Structure 1
Amino acid sequence: MRAHSFRLSRPARDVGIAPRPPISGLPIAVAERLGDIASAALLAELETWPKPGLVSHVDSGSHDDMDHTTFRRSAAAIRPFFARLAIAGAAGAEMERLRRIGRDAEEAMLAATGGVNTHRGAIFGLGLLCAAAGAASAEGAPARLSATQLTDIVAQCWGDDILRGPIPLRSNGSGVLRRFGAGGARAEAAAGFPQLREIGLPGLRRGRALAGDEDAARVQAFFALMAEVEDTNLLHRGGGAGLQDAQDAARRFLGDGGVGRGDWEARAVAIHHEFVRRRLSPGGCADLLAATIFLDAVERWL
């Protein structure tokens, strides 16, 4: 399962809501483009291989209830809601409005996957970044957007409300918060996603410099995130020892040259097999990788 969400306790219903007409200065084409970039980021994260313990086009990692097809269905189902969130951000929406759209997206996800949580954390993180991109582009075609600009908007506009918002009592993230005191996705978003700015994006660019290949660059970014992030999914599945072992494996991979070594893929696959054996799944890092890919794509949009 993935990390934190917009979700409140409410029964699911089958929805298929298209983006609503803009109620701000944001052209619908810009909102749709942001939705496309967010959806493409989810698919790029899915196709990244090897990602230890996680679902990809190669296998289902440490998961028995989801596979590559499940994730593709989910990404298609939630794509329109990223455009809606961009429109809401452009209109100056408060956090409760964003939560309502997020709940609609979750219901669409669950309807598409037969009740499996594939993208709850991504709806939260990518949704906030889409809303911020909408706010930054509110008066028409966007000027060049930056990751710092978008993450600052999230912290300044919605940070306090994110921290004050409801915590789902039965979620994995809330259970980890009570057991380990881990802040998780909520604290990361409220602070303006420092792990994206300081770890994810530099890791992606380092991977490009080392390997000159986008697939390898995403693997480098993923391992950079896993080396440092207090992933609540790892804590939920493996406790403190599982988190520490995952971080140590990532640090060894990076310290030995990362994707700059000729045998990097074999080394990453070996870590993947060990994670599967132990049922470890760094889903929070997967959500952060998708958000990293989104911010990088937005910066290179124009």
Structure 2
Amino acid sequence: MFNLEEFLLMREKRVEIQNEIIENFKNPILVLRANYPGEEKNSFVAKYIVEIMKNEVLEIFNSQIVYLQKIESIEGPTYIYSIKDLGKNIKKIAIEIEESHILGRCVDIDVFDNNGCLFSRKDFGGEKRSCLLCSDMAFVCARTKKHTQKEIQIAIEKRLEKYLDSERNKIEIVNTFSNLALKSVILEVSASPSFGLVSPHTKGSHEDMDFFTFIDSGFSLGSYLKKVISAGYSPLSVDLIFKKIRFMGKLAEDDMFLATNNVNTHKGMIFLMGITAALTAKAKFENLSFNEIPSLIKEMCRDILKDFDNIHKKTSLTHGEKLYIRHGIVGVRGVVKNGLDIIFNGSIKIFENSLISGEHINHAMIRTLLFLMSNLEDTTILHRHDIEILNFVKLKAKNLHLKFEKTSVNIKLLTEIENEFIKKKISPGGAADLLAITMFLHFIKTYF
């Protein structure tokens, strides 16, 4: 039996806990509860939805969460997060979750600043939440009792069913796309000759890694690939998806270094494949065409060069930042900012035309690698050498690409050139990463 006095006392207790968390951690807090009508706030449906949304909040804010507490009460399950960020940023994200997630309307997400003041949707130009059943404002329908509790509960249950249907579809996409991504990563290191890269036959220009290092590294990325694809198969904006996968990428780097004994084999691949795989899944979720994937990539990466804005004020620079200062080269960030144009309007056609002509996949990979080497400002080469060596590699690769444009690939000649590259310690690592992305996009194209 519903006890109003007990309910009000619990609400007061929750407010006390919220204020204590704010006082202890000096951060804004996010409070997540079920938006479920009636007295049964602890019904299976309400609790299940809150658990689903709890995980969404965890994935979005990840390392920014400094404290999390769950309260079980007559109010239903409540999660309180202390988050290290500006309250207004947290509230903007909370509004997006409520509006875009399938279950967003089935929860209340309140945000309080570090003084305990509640943010309102009006503070951000937003309107009050609409009704689950009609186009009116929810508070109007509640005040006039336009809909019965049972009708609203049924509407919430239908939303949950829709979410679960989407999750069932997601499982197939995640498994299929992640397997094809991993296949592409393994195929890339299997290409030979590969002009100073690691292959099954040579360590290339590397002393600290070999083919088996890459196999260990590649398979360490299996769970990461599933996670980013799962994150992408979502109604959330590309900005929130990017926020999710950036943290996932950091964890994937840790897994890679653990698998390789601290050797950097796939750091660039983690970045590129994470963005590409997530957005192929996003395109699939939105029922977009394959050719619309570049637009999603451009949207996600539109601000990716902002890190260079105040670069001259920095006291510590990354390798990429040093290359930007010296040569104005933006590397892989520029490639994704342009929506992987070098692939969608270049390398994928090279790879597919080779396969269509009946060539072995190894020859298709070599042709594609030569094309990428001839067109890419490869920062891996620049990091090891200088602009003269990069230009030498681009010209050599271009001539070879043109030489074999209408004839078979001469493996003997290319092996001799590979040996020359190894002697010069050249390794086109950036082109190698893009080769893997090219193959992944080719493999998933049939699913659009």
Give the TM-score taking structure 1 as reference length.
Answer: 0.84
Within 2, Cα distance between the matches of 1:126 and 1:58?
Answer: 25
Q: How many residues align?
A: 276
Alignment pair present for 1:153 and 2:296: yes
The CA deviation string for residues 88-110 of structure 1, in whole angstroms up to 9 with x for no partner, is 12232342222101101111111
Alignment pair present for 1:278 and 2:424: yes
How do 1:1-302 and structure 2 match up within 5 A? 25-26=166-167, 27-91=170-234, 92=236, 93-138=240-285, 146=290, 148-156=291-299, 158-164=300-306, 171-209=318-356, 212-258=359-405, 260-261=407-408, 264-301=410-447
Aligned residue identity for 1:277: K
Within 2, Cα distance between the matches of 1:182 and 1:210?
Answer: 36
Task: Using the TM superposition, name which of 243-252 and 84-93 deviates more.
Answer: 84-93
Task: Using the TM superposition, name which of 208-217 and 187-196 deviates more.
Answer: 208-217
More strand by share: 2
Greater Rg over alpha carbons, structure: 2
Shift of 1:199: 2.1
Secondary structure of the equivalent of 1:137?
A: helix
Aligned residue identity for 1:121: G
Shift of 1:30: 1.3
Within 2, Cα distance between the matches of 1:145 and 1:62?
Answer: 40
Shift of 1:171: 3.8
> Share of identical aligned residues, percent?
27
Aligned residue identity for 1:39: L
Within 1, Cα distance between the matches of 2:182 and 2:228?
Answer: 13
Shift of 1:301: 4.4
Tell me the residue number matched to 1:7. none
Task: Using the TM superposition, name which of 41-50 and 130-139 deviates more.
Answer: 130-139
Within 2, Cα distance between the matches of 1:216 and 1:289?
Answer: 13
Q: 5+ unaligned residues in a row in structure 2: which ranges?
A: 1-62, 64-102, 104-162
Contact kept, 8 Å, 2:196 with 2:421, in 1: the verdict is yes
Contact kept, 8 Å, 1:83 with 1:130, in 2: the verdict is no
Task: Using the TM superposition, name which of 224-233 and 174-183 deviates more.
Answer: 174-183
Within 2, Cα distance between the matches of 1:178 and 1:113?
Answer: 31
Within 2, Cα distance between the matches of 1:259 and 1:41?
Answer: 26
Tell me the residue number matched to 2:40. none
Change (3 A) 1:172 1:258: farther
Within 2, Cα distance between the matches of 1:249 and 1:88?
Answer: 40
Change (3 A) 1:84 1:161: farther
Within 1, Cα distance between the matches of 2:406 and 2:261?
Answer: 37
Within 2, Cα distance between the matches of 1:108 and 1:277?
Answer: 31
The CA deviation string for residues 126-157 of structure 1, in whole angstroms up to 9 with x for no partner, is 11111102212227xxx6852x322221112x
Within 2, Cα distance between the matches of 1:51 and 1:72?
Answer: 16
Within 2, Cα distance between the matches of 1:178 and 1:62?
Answer: 26
Contact kept, 8 Å, 2:352 with 2:442, in 1: the verdict is no
Within 2, Cα distance between the matches of 1:253 and 1:184?
Answer: 23
Shift of 1:251: 1.4
Q: 5+ unaligned residues in a row in structure 1: which ranges?
A: 1-9, 11-22
Task: Using the TM superposition, name which of 128-137 and 57-66 deviates more.
Answer: 128-137
Within 2, Cα distance between the matches of 1:292 and 1:258?
Answer: 19
